[in-house]
Structure 1
Amino acid sequence: MINFTFLENNLDKLRTQYLTAQPFPHLIIDSFCDEEKLLKAYENVPELNNKSRDYGFAGNKFEKSNYKEICPEFLELYNDLASERFNTILTYITAKKTFVDPKNFGGGLHQGKKNSFLDMHLDFNYHPLHKNWYRELNLLLYLNKDWKPEYKGGLRIKDLRTNDEAELDVPFNRMIIQQCAPYTLHGYDMTNFPEGRFRTSIATYAYQIHERIIETPRTTDWFPKDDASALKKLFAKNYNFLVKTKNKFFGSATAKNQ
């Protein structure tokens, strides 16, 4: 499913693009998958009904973790992303020994319906089940057929240290590999897709094993817009504590969007 030959023939170029990108390391790869196979997968995407558990920070956003069950093409994609061949490519591009989570915890098929949005945020840093797996990368494959900028929903990225930012287009068959760090904010503004069309992507995460825990483990840190309500800002400030408390008593529901 993945166009491995293209990636392997352009490793040095892709590495340079990733490491020198602004406002922080990221990489855009078009035609990431075999176009015909990805179109077949796209045609099998159902309308999802499992709403994101990101509470008030994600509007009308739905998820399905086990997207590999939808059709053979998605299963092939899932296996390709978790393969040693792809891990070798990621390690070279990022200049770090990284690997895709073979269980894809927290990832999957994401679908933004009418007026969907995702507030700017920092993702969890250490894997909830493997405490020394540090999250190095978000890998986002977009399935927005015939996408146009006026549909909105472009991936916004911002460096929390410098406030430099960019907005990346999200057309069909584009992979965006984005560094995860304590300063790599990302999200998307409210969408304006035509009726019956959704902002659709596959999210996968890659990690590095740390022999020492170098950051305080966190869930998600949210950064609502300046014009957000005082209540929302208060919720964002206390979100980590509230989620950790909930998980302690009720467990994590992140991987249950089947």
Structure 2
Amino acid sequence: MINFEHLEANLEELRLRYLAAQPFPHLVIDDFCDAGQLNAAYQAIPELENKSRDYVFANNKFEKSNYKEICPELKELYEDLSSDRFNKILSFITAKSVFVDPKNHGGGLHQGKKNSFLDMHLDFNYHPIHKNWYRELNLLLYLNQDWKPEYKGGLRIRDLRTDAEKELDVPFNRLIIQQCGPYTLHGYDMTNFPPGRYRTSIATYAYQEHKIFIEKPRTTDWFPKEESSVLKKMFAKNYNFLVQTKNKFFGSGTAKN
């Protein structure tokens, strides 16, 4: 389902674009999948009912981790994303030895419904089960047919070191590869999609195996807007400690999902 031949024919250009991108390495790839197959997959996607656990820092965001069971096209996409062939492409583009998590822990199909938003954040860095897998990449495939900028919901990325920021459009069949690090914030502002239309995407994550920890393991770090309430800012500041304490006694929700 992935347009492998196109990617493999343009590896040098894709690597240069990824490494040179600002405010930190990222890459936009249009026509990532076969358009007919991806359209068939989109038409098969139901309205999701499983609400995201990010209740405070997100709104009206719904998800399905095991999206490959929805239809044959999404099963093929799932398998393509975790294939050796795609791992080799990612490793060349990023100049790092990376691989997609074949179980896709924490990833899946996401739907942002009416007035959906996702506050700026840093993702967890080490895998909740494979403790030495360091998260190097977010792979975000967008399924927003006939998307227009006025629908909002573009992917915002910001470098925590410099505060430099960029917003990326999220039309149908666009893959955004985004570096993950201790400074790579991302999120999206409140959406304005027409009735019955949702901000739809599939999230997949790629890792590098580490021999030693290069960072202190963390869960998600949230960075709400300046105009957010004092209570929300306090919760964001203590979120990591609270989640790690919960995980110690009850286990990781991400791992269970």
Other-structure match for 1:124: 124
The answer to whether the Cα contact below 8 Å between 1:154 and 1:189 also exists between their aligned partners in 2 is: yes
Distance of 1:204 and 1:139 partners within structure 2: 5
1:147 maps to what in 2? 147
The answer on 1:45 being equivalent to 2:49 is no
Q: What is the aligned residue count?
A: 257
- In structure 2, the partner of 1:113 is 113
1:180-195 alignment, distance < 5 Å: 180-195=180-195
Residues 136, 251 of structure 1: alpha-carbon distance in 2 compared, 3 angstrom cutoff: same
Counterpart of 1:167, as a letter, is E
**For 1:162 and 1:202, how far apart are their aligned partners in 2?**
29
Deviations, residues 160-217 of structure 1 (Å, cap 9, x unaligned): 0000000000000000000000000000000000000000000000000111101000
Q: CA deviation at 1:248?
A: 1.8
Q: Please name the residue that 2:88 is paired with.
A: 88
Tell me which amino acid in the other structure corresponds to 2:191. Answer: T
* Matched residue SS, 1:175: strand
The answer to whether the 8 Å contact 1:65/1:256 transfers is no
**Structure 1: how far apart are the matches of 2:232 and 2:218?**
19
Alignment correspondent of 1:174: 174
Percent identity of equivalent pairs: 79
Question: Are 1:249 and 2:249 matched, yes or no?
Answer: yes
Output one character per residue of 1:66-116: Cα deviation in whole Å (capped at 9) or x when no partner. 000000000000000000000000000000000000000000000000000
The DSSP-based 3-state class of the residue aligned with 1:41 is: helix
How far apart, CA to CA, are the structure 1 residues paired with 2:84 and 2:206?
Answer: 12
On the 8 A contact 2:118/2:188 being kept in 1, the answer is yes
Q: What's 2:103 paired with? A: 103
Q: What does 1:71-86 align with in structure 2 at a 5 Å threshold?
A: 71-86=71-86
Structure 1 match to 2:239: 239
Q: Is the 8 A contact 1:139 1:175 kept in 2?
A: yes
Inter-partner Cα distance in structure 1 for 2:55 and 2:221: 13
**Counterparts of 2:60 and 2:255, CA distance in 1:** 18
Code of the aligned partner of 2:119: D
| Mapped partners of 1:218, 1:38: distance in 2 | 34
| Structure 1: gaps (5+ residues) | none
Check whether the contact 1:48–1:63 (CA below 8 A) recurs between aligned residues: yes
Amino acid at match of 1:238: N
Instruction: Give the drift of 1:253.
Output: 2.1
In the other structure, the counterpart of 1:15 is 15
Q: Quick one: distance in 1 between partners of 2:114 and 2:250?
A: 31
The CA distance in 2 between the partners of 1:198 and 1:249, in whole Å, is 36
Q: Which runs of 5+ in 2 are unaligned?
A: none
What amino acid does structure 2 have at the position aligned with 1:178? Q
Distance 2:109 2:175 in 1: 14
CA–CA separation in structure 2 for the residues paired with 1:69 and 1:256: 18
CA distance, structure 2, for counterparts of residue 255 and residue 38 of structure 1: 28
Aligned to 1:69: 69
Who is 2:57 aligned against?
A: 57
Q: Could you say what secondary structure the match of 2:163 adopts?
A: coil
Whether 2:29 is the aligned partner of 1:29: answer yes
User: Per the alignment, in what secondary structure is the counterpart of residue 56 of structure 1?
Assistant: coil
Distance 2:55 2:131 in 1: 25
